[in-house]
Structure 1
């Protein structure tokens, strides 16, 4: 029973194994970036950047079809362009960075959907928006694994500046020349991992595997190392469970994975050991007693 339910799909089918490896790469690369996004209160920035890569990926698709290289380069170019433009607007006008980022990502999202829908089919649009994790080929896995490897090395190299920017960015700017490198380098990592997740989960779902496990980990750990470990482990397990649900119940794989991560977040919100609804309730009852 356990073999047929949990192991057989991954042992017998190559596409399930490739999808599982893709989920592992995303858990090791995208979720640690999501941890720092949540610590810096930039979770919605990740969502905005996920939408911002759409027109670049769509243009790459129009030029070369479902070409991994063209869509990847287009997505990276579009994401970085939106991030840079939002930063320039925030520093040269009265608009705040979050407002300018929201404006550019909405324009990007509408432009991307328009490009795909006018030059492609509904199937193409669904592929770009929601991804096809069960159709990952070896090239896509190599790309995602490469991005995850680069991300882990970059996070290890700039761990202390990134951590300090989460706590006090003003102090980091005053004492270290690495503040701009940490800030803009982190945005580059965010774009890279969203592009990597785009090939598996699409632009609308890729940010889910980045943010949901990272946000849930806040209810189970207090230190950053614990957040990284729990978030990445939870992301991989949610990916595996989502794939199994997709296989056994004929569900779309991307939404199944993200909804599994959403269930884990809700359970963590209720049952976690740090600052959850249950701990608040127990504390209030203790004070009443």
Structure 2
């Protein structure tokens, strides 16, 4: 019975196996970036990029249809334009970068929806916004696998500068660690991962597998390495659980995966050993009793 529930769908249907491979690739690359976004207090940046790249994805779709290459290239250009534009605008005006990002992503989101709605239609807009994990093709799988490999290789070189920039930016500037350059490369990599996830989960849900496991890991470990391991484990479990939930409960696969990751986040926030709500209350009660 347990085999039929857990492994039976993947043994019987090839499209589920392909979806699982894609989820594994995303789970290995996106959550570590999410951990650094959480540590830098930039948790909403990935969501901004997911919305900001929509015009580029829409233009790529209009030019070449459901072409992974065209939509990914368009999304990458649009996402980087939002990031670089927000940085340039904040420096030119002396304002905060987050407010510039908010303004640019709202304009980009509205522009992307207008482009698709005018020339595509409701079905095409739904596909771009929400994706289809179960419809992942070879090109999308190669994009996810390549993104995961490149991300992990880049993190192996950038780990120490990123950690230093998170916890001691003053020292990083003093030793000329080129924090600005690492920051731009990091945001570019976040954009690439969001694009890879969007092929399966759409632009509106692609951030879920990056940020929810990372937010949950904050309650499970104190070290950055421990947080990354926990986030990747949660993302892997969420991908598997979401696909099974989608299959058995007839739910949209992307939404089911994000819901599983959200459930893990709620559990971690309540019972996590690091500042979990219930765990902290129990510790306080014991302290008062002692």
Q: TM-score, normalised by structure 2?
A: 0.98
Alignment of 1:166-181 (within 5 A): 166-181=166-181
Alignment of 1:83-122 (within 5 A): 83-122=83-122
**Residue matched to 2:192:** 192
User: Distance in 2 between the 1:150 and 1:262 partners?
Assistant: 27
User: Distance in 1 between the 2:158 and 2:262 partners?
Assistant: 30
Asked whether the equivalents of residues 15 and 134 of structure 2 are also in contact (C-alpha less than 8 Å), the reply is yes
Gaps in structure 2 of 5+ consecutive residues: none
User: Distance in 1 between the 2:27 and 2:200 partners?
Assistant: 12
Question: How many aligned positions are there?
Answer: 289
User: Distance in 2 between the 1:36 and 1:210 partners?
Assistant: 11
What whole-Å deviation, never above 9, does each CA across 1:163-209 have from its counterpart, x for those lacking one?
01110223212212431221111011100000001101111000010
Q: TM-score, normalised by structure 1?
A: 0.98
1:273 and 2:276 correspond: no
User: Distance in 1 between the 2:283 and 2:177 partners?
Assistant: 44
What whole-Å deviation, never above 9, does each CA across 1:234-267 have from its counterpart, x for those lacking one?
1011011000011011111010100110011001
User: Distance in 2 between the 1:177 and 1:275 partners?
Assistant: 32
1:216 and 2:216 correspond: yes
**Residue matched to 1:9:** 9
Asked whether the equivalents of residues 151 and 189 of structure 2 are also in contact (C-alpha less than 8 Å), the reply is yes
Alignment of 1:1-150 (within 5 A): 1-150=1-150
Asked whether the equivalents of residues 46 and 207 of structure 2 are also in contact (C-alpha less than 8 Å), the reply is yes
User: Distance in 2 between the 1:248 and 1:169 partners?
Assistant: 48
User: Distance in 1 between the 2:169 and 2:90 partners?
Assistant: 17
**Residue matched to 1:284:** 284
User: Distance in 2 between the 1:232 and 1:177 partners?
Assistant: 28
| SS state at 1:251 partner | coil
Asked whether the equivalents of residues 161 and 177 of structure 2 are also in contact (C-alpha less than 8 Å), the reply is no
1:108 deviates by 0.6
Gaps in structure 1 of 5+ consecutive residues: none
Moved more, 175-184 or 106-115: 175-184
Please report the RMSD computed on the Cα atoms of aligned residues, expressed in angstroms: 0.9
1:230 deviates by 1.0
